[in-house]
Each structure stands twice: as structure tokens, then as C-alpha cells.
Amino acid sequence: MGLESRRAGLLIVFEGIDGTGKSTQVQMLAEALRGLGREVVTTFEPTDGPHGRRIRELFTRRDTVSPEEELALFMADRRQHVAEVILPALAAGQVVLSDRYYLSTAAYQGAAGLDAERIIAENESFAPVPDCVLLLEVPIAVGRHRIEALRGEVLNDFEKEETLCRVAAVFNAIRRDYIKRIDASRPLAAVHRSVLDQVLPLLGAGVTNEVRPC
């Protein structure tokens, strides 16, 4: 193993199926942490970089690529995200809040037939392990209702009910100490409170996880 660099910041990730309210909770947490005087970077995957844009083009025609090709696109997007956004922010001591990260790849591409644990291992060979993953959980029907009725959106190929059931099953099966499962079917403020309960104890700890350089 090569040189190890200490990281001064914190990496906090929101995960879950579509329609769990991740992006709203990211914003609420960002505001709360800024109020505590922390420098916060909010980010998301798929990114809006070249690979992320290519991924979004596939939203309505997933059947034109194999699961392996799809995986390669998400991995390329993540490599760029890690190198250009996440590692520099952590090195600068900032708190990084990411709306999705590599457990989404494990769950979604795992649901498409690939090996979820192998995907996690491949990601952890270059991507920093999060300090905390807030896994927002809602029944599939609730997520679907939030996408269709509340946002007025049509479900894309990643969001079909059958797919989401498989995705949720993979999320359920992944066991890591850093995963905190939160019932996100409750009102926003209650979910935010549960998020703070998990995150605030991390702030004072002067967290210095080891990361391998890319």
C-alpha cells in the first residue's frame, strides 16, 4: 500500500431509493452545519459532468446498454467526482454532503444482476469510505407517489416499481457500521432531527479517517 494521507473533513452521504427526499435532507443538513460554522460542500451523483450527462441520456432507454456498460459509466463518473470534488474538499477540511455515492452503484447495478459486494470493493479501491451513510427508507409506494404525484414526473427506467423493489432489497442486505437507517416516511422535520442525531456526534470528534491516494 502506498503513502496514506490524513483527511481533515467529513464525508456524509445520503442514499436510498428514488423519492425518499434525499436532496431536501441534504439542503437542510447543509444549512444546519453552516449555522454551526462548518464549511459545507453539497454535491450529487450522477454528476453533471460528461459521464453524468451520458448517464442521464440513458434514463429512458436503459435497455440499450448492458449492466456492465452501465456500471462502467457510473464508475467513470465517480472517479472524476472523487478526484475533482470530494478529495480536494476533504483535504481542505470541509464537510462534504453527497446525494448518492457508491452504495447506489451497489444497489442499482446489483439489482441489475451484478455482484453488489464486488462493486463496493472496487469502489473502495479508489473512493474514500464515507464517515456516515444516511440510508433514507420509505415504502416503495411512497417513493413512487412522491415522484409521480408530488413532483409531477414520469418514472424513468431506474424508477420502475419492480426495479425499486430489487434495489431496496440490495440496500437492505448491505451491512456496514457506517450505515444509519432512517425512516423517511415521516415529516421532513422529524427526518432532519434523526439525521442531526447521527451527524452531530461526528463533528466534535476531529475525525481523521485514513484514505488511500487515488
Binding site for ligand TYD (CB under 6 A): 18, 45-46, 74, 100, 104-105, 108-109, 158-159
Q: Distance between CA 3 and CA 82 in Å, rounded?
A: 18
Q: Distance between CA 69 and CA 142 in Å, rounded?
A: 30
Shorter beta-carbon distance to ligand TYD: residue 94 or 104: 104
Shorter beta-carbon distance to ligand TYD: residue 57 or 197: 57
In the complex, minimum distance from the CB of residue 175 to ligand TYD, in angstroms, rounded to a whole number? 19
CB 108 within 8 A of CB 167: yes
The dihedral region occupied by 21, where left means phi > 0, alpha psi between -120 and 50, and beta the remainder, is left
CA 76 to the chain's CA centroid: 16
In the complex, minimum distance from the CB of residue 164 to ligand TYD, in angstroms, rounded to a whole number? 9
**Can you tell me whether residue 44 is helix, strand or coil?**
strand
Joined together, the cell numbers standing for residue 90 give 476533504
In the complex, minimum distance from the CB of residue 109 to ligand TYD, in angstroms, rounded to a whole number? 6
In the complex, minimum distance from the CB of residue 104 to ligand TYD, in angstroms, rounded to a whole number? 4
Shorter beta-carbon distance to ligand TYD: residue 18 or 131: 18
Shorter beta-carbon distance to ligand TYD: residue 163 or 194: 163
